[in-house]
Amino acid sequence: MFTKINAVISDAAKSVAKTAISALNKTVHILNVLGTKTVKFFKVNIVNTLTSSKRFAVVVGGIGVAACVVLAMLFANFNTIAVSVITNGQIVGYVSDSSELDDIMSSVANSLTSDEDLTKVDDIKFGLAVVSKSVVENGADLAISVLEAQDDFSSAAGLYVNGEFVVSASDQKVITNALENLKNKYVTADTKSVSFLEEVAIKTVYYTDETAPSDDVATTLISNGTKVGLNVQTTSLVSSTKTIEYDVVTKHDSNRVVGYNRISVLGKDGSAEVKELVTSVNGSEVETVVVDEKVVETPINQIIVKGTSTNGMSTVQKTLTSKGISFLWPIAVTSDMYISSTWGDGRGHHGIDITGDYGTPIYASYEGTVAYAGWSGEYGYLIVINHKGGYQTAYAHMSSIYVKAGQTVKTGEVIAGCGSTGVATGDHVHFEVRIGGTRVNPAPYLGLGY
């Protein structure tokens, strides 16, 4: 019974002792890292085989070690071995170990108005101390304490943009006023919000007599905005009247022949009251979002009627020649087309002029081979087609040509678009019929009486 308990306690004692050794080794490690003190290394052996007479002593010893470790752990809960940071003969704080030096120095440098002043900061030295865990800080947090301990440094207000020191002034108000003035440069009656694009902070900074801040310099520099890396973003709610453009709708009419192309309803633009949220940077617009749109006047769509019937074309086909040629009108017959110039016409006109809208299809009057397709002086764009029996037809003033010389075409094939190139007044097709190269009056071939 006694032996059993003894064994159990003995195991507990071993476990506690191992923890104690581990703690001791850690302490030795820290001290070795610091290199300031030499500590004896305690080697503790746990003997498994003990004589019966010594068991009681081991048990009591085990309890004693356990009590010490519990006390040490309670102590360790609130206190710790730390490194004291010393400058200009003063302890200014505590850090966990001396590797924090880099963080301390970069933090000190970031709190100075001039990099050159860094050489005037007294050297940082380290000591050892047992302190309450709550006073141990990160190196980065120690800059102000280090600088406050210096003899030659005074404090001022520093402007930081995106974490970088920019300029210092005697008082925080000098900087906040200059920042407000910079923002107000871009504020109008419509402005809803104004802010800096960058992260702006005002922190305590330190300077020596040679690097004392100038409020005038700070004010001038900040008023420049972009010179100190500051960009002012504003959002404004702007109301305006916007034009709503009308659409063009094409309607097909089977009662009108192909080529009929007229506006039946004239389009009219509408209008809307628009509210836009405008985002600007330094007064220049970067984004506009429509937040509200109210239609004041609805637009009227333009309606174009296009004919689809081919009936009009066939009704004027005549078989008039002895060679059995049946000529087709070169342009679709519509209700509002007219002959604007007849054969002769008191001026030696060698063809017949038929009006048509710009771009209206021009058809090959009869099948044949294209003899010419291209520019020809007063004719403008001209097409001449050779037909059987020595006949030719010619089409002038075209806006565009769809065939090439040498190409064969069928009767009614679209060969060009109507226009007024060359010497012409208004869009029309000048149509000629030639027999053996001589121009003749085309009227009879189109079923016209003149």
Interface residues with Zn ion (CB under 5 A)? Answer: 351, 353, 430
Task: In angstroms, give the least distance from the CB of 449 to Zn ion.
Answer: 19
Task: In angstroms, give the least distance from the CB of 376 to Zn ion.
Answer: 13
Task: In angstroms, give the least distance from the CB of 334 to Zn ion.
Answer: 19
> What whole-number distance in Å separates Cα of residue 124 and Cα of residue 130?
19
- Residue 93 or 380 having the CB closest to Zn ion: 380
Task: In angstroms, give the least distance from the CB of 394 to Zn ion.
Answer: 10
Q: Which residues contact 200 (CB under 8 A, 6 or more apart)?
A: 159, 160, 161, 179, 230
Residue closest to 362 by CA, chosen among 305, 320, 421, 322:
421
- Residue 78 or 450 having the CB closest to Zn ion: 450
- Residue 256 or 430 having the CB closest to Zn ion: 430
Residue closest to 83 by CA, chosen among 74, 75, 73, 93:
93
User: Read out DSSP for 98-121?
Assistant: GGGHHHHHHHHHHTBS-GGGGGGS
Task: In angstroms, give the least distance from the CB of 444 to Zn ion.
Answer: 17
Task: In angstroms, give the least distance from the CB of 418 to Zn ion.
Answer: 13
Q: Does the CA dihedral 95-99-103-109 come out positive or negative?
A: positive
3-state secondary structure 401-434: ECCCCCCEECCCCEEEECECCCCCCCCEEEEEEE
Residue closest to 360 by CA, chosen among 418, 311, 420, 399:
418
**DSSP code at position 378:** G
Task: In angstroms, give the least distance from the CB of 439 to Zn ion.
Answer: 11
- Residue 100 or 353 having the CB closest to Zn ion: 353
Residue 114: CB atoms within 10 Å:
16
The beta-carbon contacts of 228-231 under 8 Å, at least 24 apart in sequence, are 228/159, 228/161, 228/166, 228/167, 229/161, 229/162, 229/164, 229/166, 229/198, 230/161, 230/179, 230/182, 230/196, 230/197, 230/198, 230/200, 231/196, 231/197, 231/198, 231/281, 231/282
Task: In angstroms, give the least distance from the CB of 360 to Zn ion.
Answer: 16
Task: In angstroms, give the least distance from the CB of 345 to Zn ion.
Answer: 8
- Residue 202 or 339 having the CB closest to Zn ion: 339
Which alpha helices (H) appear in 202-316, and where do they start and end? 215-223, 311-314
- Residue 333 or 429 having the CB closest to Zn ion: 429
- Residue 101 or 339 having the CB closest to Zn ion: 339
- Residue 66 or 384 having the CB closest to Zn ion: 384
Q: Which H or E run contains 231? A: none
Chain residue at closest Cβ approach to Zn ion: 430
> What whole-number distance in Å separates Cα of residue 8 and Cα of residue 63?
12
Task: In angstroms, give the least distance from the CB of 316 to Zn ion.
Answer: 19
Q: Which H or E run contains 333? A: none
- Residue 225 or 442 having the CB closest to Zn ion: 442
- Residue 307 or 351 having the CB closest to Zn ion: 351
> What whole-number distance in Å separates Cα of residue 177 and Cα of residue 186?
15
